[in-house]
Each structure stands twice: as C-alpha cells, then as structure tokens.
Amino acid sequence: MSITLPAALANGRRLPNLWDVAAMVCVFGALIAVAHVARGTMVPIDAPGATEISLDPMRLPEYAVRTTLRMFAALLASLLFTFTYGTAAAKSRRAGLVLVPILDILQSVPILGFLTFTVVFFMNLFPGQVLGLELASIFAIFTSQAWNMAFSLYQSLKTVPADLNEATIAFHLTGWQRFWRLEVPFAIPGLVWNTMMSMSGGWFFVVASEAVSVGDNTWKLPGIGSYVALALEQRDIGAVLWAIGAMLAVILAYDQLLFRPLVAWSARFKFETTAGATADDPWMLRLLRRTRVLQLAGDRLGRFIAAVGGLRISFYRRPQRVAEAKPSRVVDVALAMLLVGVLAWIGYIVVSFAAAQLTWSDLLEALGLGLITLLRVAVLMVLASLIWVPIGVWLGLRPVWARRAQPVAQFLAAFPANLLFPPVVLFIVHFHLSADIWLTPLMVLGTQWYILFNVIAGAAAFPGDLREAAANFRVSGFLWWRKVMLPGILTYYVTGAITASGGSWNAAIVAEVAAWGDTKLVAHGLGAYIAGATDKGDIARVVLGVAVMSGFVVLFNRLLWRPLYAFAERRLTLG
C-alpha cells in the first residue's frame, strides 16, 4: 500500500530533521541568488551597467553566477539535443545516414561561425533587450557542448552487447521499455563523463561566447569570460589571477555538488557479472541520505521515472534478431543522393555568395592554410593519445583515484587558452621563437581532455569478469593492451578523438592568434584566417574559412575516425 507524503511525514522516521532544514536553506538561498542575478537579463541593452564590465574583484561573484547560469542553460539544451538527435541517428539506420554526416559538419563549424550567423536571429526575438544577447551567448556555448554528448549517446546505443539485445526480445520489451531499461542505463557512464567534459568545453570558449557582435557594435555580457577579455586587454595580471580563482571556485562547487554524486550514481550501471573496484560514496550523497524529506522526494521521483520507463509504448519495431536485418539498398541510395543534393545546394549558395567578393587565389590561400592547421591537428592528436590513453585507463580502473583526479581534470579542461597568452607571448618574444610552432600547443589545451574523459569512461565501464579472465590466463604487458584493454575502450576512444580533433580545429581560432596588450602574435593557419576575417567584419572570408574548415573536418572523420569506429562497433556487437 502506498503512503502519501503527509502520512510519511507523520511517521517519526520521516519527520524533517536539521539536515532537511540546512538543505532547504541552501536550495532557497541559491534560488534567490539566481533570481537576483537573472534580473539583469530583462533590461534594455542601453541600460546603465547592462553590458559594462568592471575589473573590480567584488563583481566576480555576480559574473560567476551569470556565466554558470548560461553554461547550465546550454547544458540542458545539449541534453535535449542528445536524447533526440543522438537517439534518432542511432535507432534509425537510414536516419543515421543523414544525421551523422550533419553532426560531423556541425561540430566542425567554429563557434565564431555560429555567432556570426545566429546573433541577428536571437536579437530579433527580443529587440533591444539583453535577453536576446543572452540567448545568442547560450547558443554559442551550446555549440561547444552538444556534439560530444550526442556522439557519446550514439556510440553507446550502437554498441549495446548483442546478448542484452536478445534478452530484451526474450522478455518481450517494447521499444520504449528497451530504451529506458537497457540502452539509457548502458549509456549513462559515458554520458556522465562527456557531460562533465561539455561543461569544461564551455569554459574554454566562454571568452568568445560572451562577446556578441553585430556589424560595428560589440556587446560584452557580464561574466567571467568578458572579465578575462578586459583583463587581457588592459594587461592586468591581478585581474587575471582573480578570474582564475573564481573559475576554480565555481568548478569545485559544481563538481562537489553535482558531478561527483553523478559519477558515483553512474557506477551502478556498469555492465559486469562480477564485483569490480568501487570507491566510497561522496559526501554529498551521504548528506542527502541523512535528510528525510529530500530522501522521500527522491524515492518518489525515482519510482515515477521507473513507472514512465516501464510503459508499454513502442515508437519503432522491435528487432526480431540481430542477424535478420535486411536493409533496402534502394532507399539508402535515395537518401544518399538526397544528402548529396542538399550539400551541393548549400555549397552552391556559399560559392555564389563568396564568388562576388573573392577570387580563386582566396580559395587556394584558405586551402593552404587549412593544410597547415591539419598538420598541427594530426600531430597533436597523436601526442595526446600517447599521453592520455594510458593515464585514462589507469584512472578508469581505479575509481578512488578517478574521483581524486576528477576536479583537477575538469579545471584543466576548462582553463581558457586566453589566460596563457601573457606567459606564452612573453616567452616567444623574449627568445625570438616561431609563433607557428610555439602557439601550436594552445590548440590542444582544452581539447585533449575529450580523449582522457572518454578513455576513463571506457575503462570504468570495462567488465570486471573480462579483466579477471585476462588475469587468470596471465595476459599482461603489451599483449594485454592489444588484446584486452584497447579493443574494450576503442569505441570510447574514437568518440573522444572525433570530438577532440573537431575541437582542436575550433580552438585554432583562439590559439593561432595570441595577444598581450599591444603585442600580437599570429601563426599561419586557417584559425588565424577566420579570426582575422571576423575582426574585420569580412563576412565573405568568414564563410570561406568556415566552409574550408568544415570540409577538412568531415574528410578527416570520414577517412579515419568513422572506419575505425565501424571496426570497433563490429567487434563489440558481434562479440
């Protein structure tokens, strides 16, 4: 018999205690603070202080809340995008033929490209209001968060073990039940780590996302990113240090309050038949368990979600057997021709727009600069893989150490390349070094962590019984890596490498141009080409640079990462 909330509270064990009071005070305090700061989004653009930035450290708490709210709003939009777009691409093979290439293209478009073409739309929704600028900034942050999360869910849904799929058929689960009782739990560990990476990725591009430009007008929204940009312009080292401290405080706060409990919760969905290594529950989970009202509310919410996931709803046909799928090549060819036609039409529009202002020499220049950036990305991906794959596996197999390293990795992944401009620029100028070489590491500063986070997720999800089998057969050394671990984490690694390589192309816009006061260093590359065209308001060259960058990223994914991913997928689903 179910117990209503008043009846439960009447029970002495469910009466509110001091922990409930403390929790409710914290919750209402946070809501009041958010409401107070959010009032700044409902004022006109020309209102006093609406788009003005001060380097007074006392303003940093307000700026930190504004930036964090933008990032969490973008994160919610990214989750909605992930569970719709990623699911559609994975569940429908024919939809995937169209949606996956489009996702490749979207992740290749740099954040400045999105800002250039979407700001006017959002500002027209709320003319003259700060809210229009806020939505444009949130959308820009969304473009730095959504793609790796969608790729993570897509990868998990495509690599659910065949024996588990057979079990859902044997138990006559509908498509809805199969999705919520098997596929989503199977995807949770990887999705949680990629969500953390998305938050850090948003920090990496926060300087660009909080500066909104339309024509000759540029507005800087109050936030840590704008604070950093102004501190760099005025060469104020003290303000830069204050910004770093504020970032660290915010990252530690949401790591302790949100992501650390989520990682501990996601360990429940690890696919294995034997008990693996575990870590103690974080203090936040233990604190919530001491509350009574919140624990009861959480139990009720969990039962409601379980009931919704258990509804016998089916939006697609349940597969009868994995081996019985017989795709129709005619429809596949038609979809492929449709996709090629749409891309050709978009290409024609881009070419027609650019041809009025550009020449063939401009195209050759952009292609040549793209090849230089491609060389940088390829070298950085190799080096990042050699460094972070072994470290990620080591951490993923040791949950205690993974918990300890989690906030450090989040902070390093969130650290904007702009904050390293002062020492890097001074170092290069002092020793008369080449900017083409020594600015290159800045490209991978925020993107190498996609590889680390996904490898940690893959190693953490690696079945303990397979590790025990390898130990019983005394498989060790290089053979262990080649036959056991690397095949087990390959899909996770490829997911991280796809987003890391795409992110490195985007980071080139920030990393190939470094400035400190009046000193400006520019490396040869496509990122510097797009950044320079954006500063000049040269829309034609921005379009050309974005199109060339998208082409390079898509070809790189199609020729390298996608075949490698398909190989890993076949190994898992047939295993």
The answer as to whether 102 is a domain residue is: yes
CB neighbour class for 61 (10 Å; exposed up to 12, middle 13-18, buried from 19):
middle
Lookup: tokens for 248 = 């660290």
The answer as to whether 337 is a domain residue is: no
The answer as to whether 12 is a domain residue is: no
What residues are paired with 514 via a beta bridge?
A: 521
What residues are paired with 217 via a beta bridge?
A: 214
pLDDT at position 112, please? 63
**How many angstroms separate the CA atoms of 205 and 222, rounded?**
15
pLDDT at position 148, please? 86
> Which has the closest alpha carbon to 104: 567, 509, 502, 564?
502
The answer to whether the beta carbons of residues 82 and 151 sit under 8 Å apart is no
How many CB atoms sit inside 10 A of residue 95's CB? Answer: 15
**How many angstroms separate the CA atoms of 264 and 281, rounded?**
6
Q: What is the DSSP string of 390-430?
A: HHHHHHHT-HHHHHHHHHHHHHHHH--GGGGHHHHHHHHHH
Domain that holds residue 492: 17-321+358-573
The answer as to whether 344 is a domain residue is: no
The SS3 assignment for 516 reads: strand
pLDDT at position 213, please? 66
**How many angstroms separate the CA atoms of 19 and 287, rounded?**
8
Domain count, the chain: 1
The answer to whether the beta carbons of residues 267 and 399 sit under 8 Å apart is yes
- Where residue 471 sits, what CATH number does that domain have? 1.10.3720.10
Tens of pLDDT along 146-203?
A: 988 998 899 888 888 878 888 888 888 888 888 888 899 989 988 998 898 888 878 8
- Which residues in 235-254 are b (16+ Cβ under 10 Å) and which e? eeeebbebbbebbeebbeeb
Contacts of residue 494, Cβ cutoff 8 Å, sequence gap at least 6: 155, 561, 564, 565, 568
The answer as to whether 370 is a domain residue is: yes
Task: Write the secondary structure of 99-156 as one string of H (helix), E (strand) and C (coil).
Answer: HHHHHHHHHHCCHHHHHHHHHHHHHHHCCCEHHHHHHHHHHHHHHHHHHHHHHHHHHH
Q: Please, what are the averages of pLDDT over each run of 10 residues along the chain (575 residues)?
A: 47 63 74 72 75 87 89 93 92 80 76 70 82 87 88 87 82 85 89 87 78 71 88 84 88 85 81 56 75 76 77 60 53 71 74 74 90 91 92 88 80 73 78 85 81 88 81 86 88 86 80 77 88 80 84 83 76 55
Tens of pLDDT along 451-463?
A: 998 898 888 888 7
The answer as to whether 470 is a domain residue is: yes
The answer as to whether 79 is a domain residue is: yes
Q: What is the CA radius of gyration of the chain?
A: 25
The answer as to whether 6 is a domain residue is: no
